[in-house]
Amino acid sequence: MLTAISIIILIVAGLLALVVLAQNPKGGGLAAGFTGAQQIGGVQRTADFLEKGTWTLAGTLMVLCLISAGVQNNGSNDLDDLDTPSISAPADEAPADGQIPADEAE
């Protein structure tokens, strides 16, 4: 599942880059190619479409990244899964008969 989400994230990121590069902050970009008002879409509608596409793709990318972070299970909250050595007395210091040594009994 994580692989599928990662692939979708890459596709959305590529589309977002293309939509952003198609825009021109000075009124050019794809909208500059439409000079006549009789053409379908027109200049203003093309700019609106690119802006809405940018916001939609950016929101989709954010949601997909949050989903992929939630799906990942790299860390666990269980203390049993930690790879730390257990704290115990070495075998040569443990009493053989199960008795508590005299210095620890007090």
Give tens-digit pLDDT for 24-38: 766 555 555 555 544
Q: How far apart are the first and last CA of the chain?
A: 58
Query: Residue 1's pLDDT is what?
Result: 85
> Looking at the domain assignment, is residue 10 inside a domain?
no
Q: Average pLDDT over the chain, rounded to whole? A: 74
For the chain, what is the domain count? Answer: 1
Name the residue range of residue 62's domain. Answer: 44-72
Amino acid at site 25: P
Are 50 and 19 in contact, with CB atoms under 8 Å apart? Answer: yes
Kindly report the three-state secondary structure assignment for every residue of 59-98: HHHHHHHHHHHHHCCCCCCCHHHCCCCCCCCCCCCCCCCC
> Looking at the domain assignment, is residue 30 inside a domain?
no
> Looking at the domain assignment, is residue 89 inside a domain?
no
Residues of the chain with pLDDT under 70: 25-44, 74-106
Query: Residue 14's pLDDT is what?
Result: 96
pTM of the model: 0.54
> Looking at the domain assignment, is residue 57 inside a domain?
yes
> Looking at the domain assignment, is residue 96 inside a domain?
no
Give the position of tokens 């979708």.
Answer: 8
Query: Residue 9's pLDDT is what?
Result: 96
Residues in the chain: 106
